[in-house]
Amino acid sequence: MPRIVARPKELDLDSPGRRDYWLALEHDSIWGDHLIPLTVWVGPEAKPDQGLVAFGSNHGNEYEGPVALKKLLKEIRLEDVRGRIVIIPVLNPSAFRAGTRESTPDDRVNLNRAFVDGAGVNPALSGITHRIAAFVRQYIWPRVHVVLDLHSGGNVARFSICANYHHVDDPELEKRIDRTARWFGLPSLMVYQNQTPGLLPSEAERLGKITVGTELGWGCAVNPEGVRCGRQGVLAAAIHEGQLQGEISPIGHHAAGTQRVLEMVDRDCFTVAPFDGHYEAVLECGTPVKKGDVVGYLHDFDHIDMEPWPAVAGVDGVVLAQAWVAPVPRGQHIVVIGRVIG
């Protein structure tokens, strides 16, 4: 079935059937459009405010999500769909085509910081990235109750690959979020701070949606385990939340009962680079540590005779993430330790 190029108002996200679109949003510079791949399945039991959406490439240099979702476009059969499933393998085409974290060729905005007041409405926030956020708000949020945002570390960080979420006030919602996160089968569940402005998952959580993010890899590569777990998590959520019929079995650390819940919600969990330098890891992500253990060293090659600065664990826990690319700027989080809470 050929993809239909459509403006937001021309999308049919509600009628029974499958439809494949290139969502067209006006380009910032050339005479043309940014084209966002969007596929929707609507089954016979679909409800107006219920459904699942899975996003890939919120950041443009994170590839496990787009690959996993592209595979699902071939696997999900319309006859198995009960409710509504929306798959957007590449949410930010500007960043994806450039292979960068931000929308570098256009407004240079980080889409995962763009869900702010006035995005796509205020003239000062009218670039493509904020208009993508506005599209999600107007057309996707009202139709779904499950939001899966598939990230990887890009060039910023190497992770103990994980599913992640924030603490929420509603205990029943947090229980459903935790269950959804576990079904990705990843070794770690990361509960992280919710102070960063403009996050897509934060807005979805505030709206009461079952919201799970991931870090499925790093280094602008494609981690096969990340792809496998990304596919698993989307299918499991669709089945458990009544959008897809079928059965699914646990995989990986979920099946083995070895998942760890790691919390990083305060400053003590983060070790910050005090100067521009080159980071050398000496422990692998996923390694248990005690407060004060050396996780890596920061080298200053402008002062070649200076001893490297030890990057130490700020708390007892597990090395959840650390800098991936060796050159790091002052102020970057180069070591992140998660406290074990479950």
Q: Which of 190, 134, 113 is nearest to 9 (CA)?
A: 134
In this model, does residue 28 exceed pLDDT 90? no
d(C-alpha 296, C-alpha 42), whole Å = 49
Note the CATH architecture for domain 268-340.
Answer: Beta Barrel (2.40)
**CB 220: neighbour CB atoms within 10 A?**
18
Q: How far is CA 293 from CA 289, 308, 318, 321, 335, in A?
A: 6, 15, 11, 15, 11
Mean pLDDT of 129-156: 97
d(C-alpha 235, C-alpha 99), whole Å = 27
Between 98 and 30, residue with greater pLDDT: 98
In this model, does residue 195 exceed pLDDT 90? no
Between 174 and 29, residue with greater pLDDT: 174
**Per-residue model confidence (pLDDT) at position 41:** 98
Between 126 and 2, residue with greater pLDDT: 126
What does the DSSP assignment read for 228-264?
A: HHHHHHHHHHHHHTTSB-S-----HHHHHT--EEEEE
- Under the banding of pLDDT at 50, 70 and 90, the label for residue 50 is very high
Report how far apart the first and last C-alpha atoms of the chain are (Å, whole number): 46
- Under the banding of pLDDT at 50, 70 and 90, the label for residue 197 is very high
d(C-alpha 2, C-alpha 74), whole Å = 14
Reported as half-sphere exposure (CB side, CA atoms, 13 A), residue 84 has a value of: 23
Q: Which CATH class is domain 4-264?
A: alpha beta
The pLDDT tens digits for 77-95 are: 999 999 999 999 999 999 9
Q: What percent of the chain has pLDDT over 70?
A: 100
**Per-residue model confidence (pLDDT) at position 122:** 93
Mean pLDDT of 137-147: 98
User: Which amino acid does the sequence have at 93?
Assistant: P
CATH 3.40.630.10 range(s) for the chain read 4-264
- Predicted TM-score of the model (pTM): 0.96
**Per-residue model confidence (pLDDT) at position 1:** 62
| 3-class DSSP assignment, residue 316 | coil
What percentage of the chain's residues is helix, strand, coil (to nearest 5)?
Answer: 25, 30, 45
In this model, does residue 58 exceed pLDDT 70? yes
| 3-class DSSP assignment, residue 279 | strand
CATH 2.40.50.100 range(s) for the chain read 268-340
The pLDDT tens digits for 283-322 are: 999 999 999 999 999 999 999 999 999 999 999 999 999 9
Contact 316, 339 (CB under 8 A): yes
**Per-residue model confidence (pLDDT) at position 30:** 85
The string over 249-277, giving b where at least 16 C-beta atoms fall within 10 Å of a residue's C-beta and e elsewhere, is eebbbbeeeebbbbbbbeeebbbebeeeb
Mean pLDDT of all residues in the chain? 96
Angle between helices 171-182 and 224-240 (to 10 degrees): 140
**Per-residue model confidence (pLDDT) at position 2:** 84
What tokens appear for 104 in the block? 């570098």
